[in-house]
Amino acid sequence: MTPIPVLMYHHVAPRPGDMVTVTPETFEGQMRHLAGNGYAVLSLDGLLSAIGNERKPPRKAVAITFDDGWLDNWVHAFPILRKFRLRAAVFVVTDWVERASAGGAPGGTASGVPHREARRLAERGETRGLVLDWDRIGEMQASGLVDFYSHTVHHARCDRLAPETAAGELRESKRVLEERLGRPCPYLCWPFGKFSGEAVSHAREAGYRALFTTRHGVAGPGTDPFDIPRIVVKDAVPWFARRLRVYTSPLLSRAYLAVKNS
């Protein structure tokens, strides 16, 4: 199997303050490493073609994903993606985007708010200055480099919801994204990485073609599209370079993940 690491980011901001933020300098160094060392960055459509054995993936393929749709993705990450012409996907919480687009209550700023505090503000509806709005999403999508998919309506833990509530979170977020962006939304990422077998069934019924998790591992031909693992990215370029050498090697990735996940 040709392993394909699916990289998971949340924030790109000057002051990390948590384990899910990388600085713009680090992010630029990581993207420069991809662009300068022969890595092929796939769209999620390209990833699914490889998983389904519809197209043989390049030897050093990766995919880039962002969770939640924070405004710093536009402020800091998007210019770097444009600079290196690299593809990425962002999983957005549609209620948060709607509130940010309507103005909402004053929240934080695009930079310097630790993830836990940013999420607390967003969950209270205070998304302005924290979360992407539809205008910025439209700008990013129009570049041809960034695609947007579902992270539910309310950033919901789908393993705890009543069945009909979970089904509504999945259907409604998909509907809003398709209406707002004018294109299909076939992919979903589980908030907190939490889901149940029943939630997966609801996602299938809603029309999703692939589901992204926080389970540690690499994807590749033959991976279950409804259980795609990812790699959390750390705020360090040397770490990034070392891990990519491992994760894109069939032999090294198999050995390393067997030890790490044992």
User: What does the pLDDT average to over 180-185?
Assistant: 98
Q: What is the pLDDT of residues 151-175, one digit of tens each?
A: 999 999 999 999 999 999 999 999 9
Whether the per-residue pLDDT at 78 is higher than 90: the answer is: yes
Predicted confidence at residue 104, as pLDDT, reads: 57
Predicted confidence at residue 113, as pLDDT, reads: 83
pTM strictly above 0.85: yes
Q: How far apart are CA 131 and CA 96, in angstroms?
A: 7
Predicted confidence at residue 105, as pLDDT, reads: 55
Residue with tokens 């939630």: 199
User: What does the pLDDT average to over 17-38?
Assistant: 96
Predicted confidence at residue 256, as pLDDT, reads: 86
CATH of domain 6-260: 3.20.20.370
User: What does the pLDDT average to over 138-145?
Assistant: 98
Predicted confidence at residue 84, as pLDDT, reads: 98
Whether the per-residue pLDDT at 223 is higher than 70: the answer is: yes
Predicted confidence at residue 109, as pLDDT, reads: 57
Calculate what percentage of the chain has a pLDDT beyond 70. 96
Whether the per-residue pLDDT at 137 is higher than 80: the answer is: yes
Predicted confidence at residue 1, as pLDDT, reads: 81
Whether the per-residue pLDDT at 103 is higher than 80: the answer is: no
Whether the per-residue pLDDT at 243 is higher than 80: the answer is: yes
User: What does the pLDDT average to over 61-70?
Assistant: 98
Q: How far apart are CA 120 and CA 217, in angstroms?
A: 29
Calculate what percentage of the chain has a pLDDT beyond 90. 88
43, 62 Cβ separation under 8 angstroms: no
Predicted confidence at residue 260, as pLDDT, reads: 81
Whether the per-residue pLDDT at 190 is higher than 90: the answer is: yes
Mean pLDDT of the chain: 94
Instruction: List the domain boundaries for the chain.
Output: 6-260
Predicted confidence at residue 110, as pLDDT, reads: 62
Predicted confidence at residue 94, as pLDDT, reads: 98
Whether the per-residue pLDDT at 107 is higher than 60: the answer is: no
